[in-house]
Amino acid sequence: MKKAGAEKKRSRRSSAASRDPATDTPPRKQANKKDVFQLFAEKVRDHKDLVSRWAVLQETRVEYFRGKDFVTFLRNNADLKDILESDRYLEVEDIVNVLLSKNLLVRCDRVVKTVRPGKRKLSTWPAHLEIFPEQEFSDNDAFFAWTFVNKRPLWQTLLSLSWPVLTLAICLFPVYPHQAKLLILYTCAGVLLLILCLLLVRALIFGVSWILLGKRIWIFPNILAEEATLRELFRFWPKKDEEEKPKLTARIFYAIVAVLAILLLRHHAPDEAARARYQKRVSNIIDDVLEWDPRLALSGMMQSEVNVTETNNNVTDGVGNEKVVEDEHVEIADDKDLYNDNDNI
Question: What's residue 297's pLDDT?
Answer: 59
For the segment 276-308, what is each residue's pLDDT rounded down to a tens digit? 888 788 777 777 777 776 666 566 555 555 455
Q: Report CA torsion sign: 288, 294, 296, 299.
A: positive
179 and 96 in a common domain: no
The span from the CA of 16 to the CA of 9, in Å, is: 11
The span from the CA of 31 to the CA of 190, in Å, is: 56
For the segment 128-149, what is each residue's pLDDT rounded down to a tens digit? 999 999 999 988 889 999 998 8
pLDDT-derived band at 231, boundaries 50, 70, 90:
confident
Q: Is residue 162 part of a domain?
A: no
pLDDT-derived band at 69, boundaries 50, 70, 90:
very high
- In sequence order, the 6+-apart residues with CB closer than 8 A to the CB of 245 are 214, 215
Helical spans, DSSP H, in 172-239:
178-212, 230-233
Radius of gyration for the chain, computed over Cα atoms and rounded to the nearest angstrom: 41
pLDDT-derived band at 28, boundaries 50, 70, 90:
very low
pLDDT-derived band at 174, boundaries 50, 70, 90:
confident
13 Rama sector, left if φ>0, alpha if ψ -120 to 50, beta otherwise: alpha
213 and 136 in a common domain: no
The span from the CA of 125 to the CA of 220, in Å, is: 18
Q: For residue 234, what is the DSSP state?
A: T
Question: What's residue 30's pLDDT?
Answer: 41
Q: Is residue 239 part of a domain?
A: yes
Domain termination residue (choose one: 103, 131, 146): 146
Q: Is residue 4 part of a domain?
A: no
Type of residue found at 231: R
Range of the domain at 106: 36-146
Question: What's residue 281's pLDDT?
Answer: 82
182 and 107 in a common domain: no
178 and 142 in a common domain: no
Domain termination residue (choose one: 224, 253, 278): 278
Question: What's residue 104's pLDDT?
Answer: 92
108 and 189 in a common domain: no
114 and 75 in a common domain: yes
**Is the distance from CB of 78 to CB of 90 less than 8 angstroms?**
no
Q: HSE of 304 in the Cβ direction (CA atoms, 13 Å)? A: 6
225 and 182 in a common domain: yes
269 and 179 in a common domain: yes
The span from the CA of 221 to the CA of 126, in Å, is: 16
The span from the CA of 243 to the CA of 119, in Å, is: 4
- In sequence order, the 6+-apart residues with CB closer than 8 A to the CB of 95 are 40, 74, 81, 84, 87
204 and 113 in a common domain: no
Strand 128-131, strand 60-66: pairing: unpaired
Strand 128-131, strand 53-57: pairing: parallel
For the segment 90-132, what is each residue's pLDDT rounded down to a tens digit? 999 999 999 999 999 999 999 988 887 767 788 888 889 999 9
**22, 27, 32, 38: CA torsion to nearest 10:** 80
332-345 mean pLDDT = 51
- pLDDT, greater one: 296 or 328: 296
**Is the distance from CB of 143 to CB of 129 less than 8 angstroms?**
yes
The span from the CA of 149 to the CA of 164, in Å, is: 24
Question: What's residue 64's pLDDT?
Answer: 94
149-177 mean pLDDT = 84
Domain termination residue (choose one: 146, 161, 196): 146
Type of residue found at 191: V
227-241 mean pLDDT = 73
Question: What's residue 8's pLDDT?
Answer: 45
pLDDT score of 21 more than 60: no
Q: Is residue 22 part of a domain?
A: no
34-58 mean pLDDT = 88
Q: Is residue 159 part of a domain?
A: no
192 and 99 in a common domain: no
215-238 mean pLDDT = 78
Domain tally for the chain? 2
49 and 105 in a common domain: yes
86 and 42 in a common domain: yes
Q: Is residue 244 part of a domain?
A: yes
Q: DSSP string of 203-218?
A: HHHHHHHHHHT-----
Q: Is residue 320 part of a domain?
A: no
pLDDT score of 218 more than 60: yes
pLDDT-derived band at 72, boundaries 50, 70, 90:
very high
Question: What's residue 325's pLDDT?
Answer: 47
- In sequence order, the 6+-apart residues with CB closer than 8 A to the CB of 150 are 42, 45, 46, 63
pLDDT-derived band at 312, boundaries 50, 70, 90:
low
Q: Residue 291: name the closest of 212, 183, 179 by CA.
A: 179
Q: Is residue 161 part of a domain?
A: no
